[in-house]
Each structure stands twice: as structure tokens, then as C-alpha cells.
Chains A and B, each alone.
Chain A
Amino acid sequence: TQLLEQSPQFLSIQEGENLTVYCNSSSVFSSLQWYRQEPGEGPVLLVTVVTGGEVKKLKRLTFQFGDARKDSSLHITAAQPGDTGLYLCAGADRSSNTGKLIFGQGTTLQVKP
């Protein structure tokens, strides 16, 4: 069974601080997605990483896929209150050919002004 362990589960920081969220597994994933969800809304796709060692940047967000494609990280530089939300990593389930995703437990981020 493929599992994704996401950490930390909760993070409360001050505006301007940096943070990193980790997503780890003992299984190899063909691709990994990061989503952000605000309260009462559906998750929004931020990025997809496919190649081992890949780094993608989205403004102040940097996403990295591990060389072995078993782990990923999300780094936010100079966090702002607008970054507050639930961050979810998700990997493609290899046992399914329907696009089923395996989700991490989520990281609830609160950025205080």
C-alpha cells in the first residue's frame, strides 16, 4: 500500500518567516501534486512534479521532487497571511489506471500578520 506522510500537520508562523512542508513515502510515485485549500472551498492545484530532482517555482513557493521520486517538499519564502490554508500533497496511485490519487494528511498553515 502506498502511503504519503506529510509533516508538519500544523504550522503557525509570523508574516515574513520561511517554512518548509515535507511529503515522504517509501514508495516511488510517477508524479506528485501539491494543492492548497482554503476553508469551505475545494483544493486548488498548485503544481505537478514528474521528474526526479525536479524543482519548480511559483512566485514565493518552491517545490522539489526527490531524486528517487519518493518524497517532495514545498518551501515558502517570506510567508504572507494570504498563504494561510491547508496544503495537500498527492501522488499517483500505481495500482490504479484511473488517475486515483493518494493524499497526504495535509498541513494546516496559519500566517499571522
Chain B
Amino acid sequence: GAVVSQHPSRVICKSGTSVKIECRSLDFQATTMFWYRQFPKQSLMLMATSNEGSKATYEQGVEKDKFLINHASLTLSTLTVTSAHPEDSSFYICSASAQSPYEQYFGPGTRLTVT
């Protein structure tokens, strides 16, 4: 149980375009989903916390107009990187909480490359 999927797993886009990443909890309802960014050989950096039906809470320094988060249902959250630039290239990972609020189950990640 507690499986989280992410799509796509890898995406290459041109500078200035937008990219949407989907995060789904497959076998449980997730009240809260989290979006992280990870640089090579580093820990996870939390970007935002997303609750179903409400606006996402962004961490300090994360541009909410650039990283649009929508949590439309208890099993789906999306992250849209708008007007992507090469510096947005990174590994983006989502997670979801099940019964215990502090146990997060992670998706497999999305490798974004902006050319």
C-alpha cells in the first residue's frame, strides 16, 4: 500500500514553455501532498505544501506564480512550472501523507531539463 505515482518521469522542454507534472496517490486518499526539488547528491528542498481544495502554502523563496500547484482531489496534485528557464532544470519529487501525517510516501520523481 501507500503508492504514489508521478508523471512524466522525464521531460525536456524549451526555455519559455510551461511543463505540468502530475502526482497521484494510487491506493489511499492524501489530504496533504508536498512538492520538493532536489539537486544532485543533496537532500530534499521543500517547495510547497498542498491541501485538497485549498491554496498551496509555499516555502520562503519559492515563487508561487512560477510554480503553480493545484490539488484538485484527494488523489491528485499537479505542479506546473511556468515559463521554464534552464535554471529550473532539476529533479522534482512529490509526496503524500496517508494516515500518519508525518509519514510521507514519495513518488518516483520527475527529471526536468530545460534547454
Contacts and interface: CB of A to CB of B under 8 A. Distances in A.
Partners in one complex: yes
B108 A41 contact: yes
Given A42-B93, A43-B44, A106-B43, A101 B102 contact: yes
A105 interface: yes
B99 to A, nearest CB: 11
Give the size category of B's interface with A.
20 to 34
29 contacts: A31-B100, A33-B104, A35-B106, A40-B111, A41-B108, A41-B109, A42-B106, A42-B107, A42-B108, A43-B93, A43-B106, A45-B103, A45-B104, A48-B100, A48-B102, A88-B43, A90-B104, A92-B102, A98-B51, A99-B34, A99-B101, A99-B104, A100-B34, A101-B34, A101-B102, A101-B104, A103-B46, A105-B43, A108-B41
A44 B106 contact: yes
Interface string B84-115: 00000001010101001111111111010000
Given A33-B103, A42-B108, A100 B4 contact: no
A96 B49 CA distance: 10
A2 interface: no
